[in-house]
Chains A and B, each alone.
Chain A
């Protein structure tokens, strides 16, 4: 059952992208660790972490695409799930510091000592164990998405209204995490990490491994997402995106379908956040910023929503552009981002990948039509969305 699900998920494009990701997972760390710093092919460590960060963004965009591209839920709060996964990982990393903090308290993280707290809050227990933290990375975002989705989808909140309440959700979390007495480090968040699973978090080897882990997580999520959208369940998702009430009258529990997709997507976003935090070395409430979630929507739109590969390419393109652009003309980046969104919406509504697929399909259809003259009147293969 599971194997047939996975085999169905692997079409050629997905296979190629998975192969590229796996190759990168080996190649980039190898070029970083095994070449001398002056070697022409050497990849400096800062670049490894930067690329690793892009991959976690790509995973976040892929998660959003599952709900937006295939299910029509425009979530403007996906960065919240990302940040929650990041906080869960951050809490583990904080507990790993132990007595090495500035105050030397073996149990309490520095900020708690600073706030004069005497004991660890209950929700910090267990985070000294990696397996527990890893579980929370998927469970906490998953649970939030489940509860949020349960109420929203059951009450049939749709479209703009749903988008607005997802923004409200991430904004509420932003405000909550800013407060010192929430117990998550307030304004400063969690930082000064020392090691992860016993390895020094600053070491080249650890950075390279984190990159490889991000590439693997992205490849795995791509296979799972592809399996989901190619299954009959995925067809139901597209059906309810295009004609929700029709899907209901066919006997499908639309709210259950959406809830499942939304929860899986939030869990993927949580994993992305957990891989992001050790690579950038900090997590603070700024990650809940509503603008962050909107940026994810832009990456997905640029790459092509509803295409799986699109959001990955979009996230890497836009963030690569951002890194270059903010170095060259820092004050113009937001204008460039806004302009990009407008241009893509107007001229490439299917995104980069969607448009490319469209032209490829057209060319194939033309070739087929000219190849077999008797097969007349080939229908336009791609429909407007």
Chain B
């Protein structure tokens, strides 16, 4: 193990993983500070989703270190444990529980004890109710609270999922392509929503939409072939010749 205990919220060092000989991540190093909002860009197959899989415990790295809050080794924990530690994840495809109502989706996501018996004898307290109502208005779904999630539009499902992440109260939020398939108006609103969320926690956003990233106005990391190509402001990164060649195109 390394001597220096990293102070960052999330610390990845020299992480490599390969699937059937294909190197999805190639000695990737990446740091997120507490309270930071970070955007990640990169071509298809750059390892963006694999990186999220590693952080959330879905995939184990072949080599490398992954630490959360300085000294919690994430490579030794499974998805449920990592989620309970305070890392929330939003998938590329919106995945909400379609046969539950909007309200139930949020109730399930709420950061409460998640054991078999705790859930079996759970009763909705006034405090939990207020919290869910708060989130409903944040993600603008208060009017749809009793509708099944299946009946929501694509954009509304994305927001519901963001609402579920808020209910989880994570310290670190990983968001995979939040504006894919959204209208321009929805995209702009989502940028506002994410910036709002990032005030109280760290957020990592993977996105292809350069306009959206410009809206966010944050530090950008460009991945390619499983490692970091460039890091800095959006203008700095988008002027980097390597980034232009690999990703943006000439």
Contacts and interface: CB of A to CB of B under 8 A. Distances in A.
Contacts of A249: 56, 79, 83, 88-89
B100 A235 contact: yes
B18 interface: no
Contact of B108 (A1, A250, A254, A381): A250
A271 to B, nearest CB: 20
A252 B80 CA distance: 5
Interface string B75-114: 0001111011000110100011111100010011101001
A2 B117 CA distance: 11
A107 to B, nearest CB: 42
A1 B118 CA distance: 11
A252 B119 CA distance: 10
Contact of A251 (B80, B98, B123): B80
A235 B104 contact: yes
B150 interface: yes
Given A243-B95, A383-B98, A384-B150, A248 B79 contact: yes
B152 to A, nearest CB: 9
Interface residues of B, number: 36
Contacts of A232: 107-108, 119-120, 122
A109 to B, nearest CB: 40
A5 B84 CA distance: 26
A245 B91 CA distance: 10
A385 interface: yes
B221 interface: no
B108 A236 contact: yes
Contacts of A248: 78-80, 83
Given A231-B122, A249-B56, A242 B147 contact: no
A223 to B, nearest CB: 14
A376 to B, nearest CB: 13
Interface in A240-258: 242-243, 245-254, 256-257
Given A250-B164, A254-B80, A380-B151, A238 B97 contact: yes
Nearest to A251: B83
A253 B80 contact: yes
Nearest to A2: B121
A2 B121 CA distance: 7
Interface string A215-237: 00000000000001001110110
B148 A250 contact: no
A257 B108 CA distance: 14
B168 A250 contact: yes
A171 interface: no
B115 to A, nearest CB: 7
Contacts of A260: 116
A327 interface: no
A4 interface: yes
B123 A4 contact: yes
B58 interface: yes
A239 interface: yes
Given A242-B98, A253-B114, A383-B98, A233 B122 contact: yes
Interface string A287-302: 0000000000000000
Contact of A257 (B107, B116, B147): B116
A231 B95 CA distance: 22
A379 interface: yes
Given A232-B107, A379-B151, 9 more contacts: A4-B121, A233-B116, A235-B107, A246-B96, A246-B97, A256-B116, A260-B116, A380-B151, A383-B150
13 contacts: A4-B121, A228-B120, A233-B119, A235-B100, A238-B97, A238-B100, A248-B79, A249-B83, A249-B89, A250-B114, A251-B84, A253-B115, A254-B80
Interface of B: 56, 58, 78-81, 83-84, 88-89, 91, 95-100, 104, 107-109, 111, 114-116, 119-123, 147-148, 150-151, 164, 168
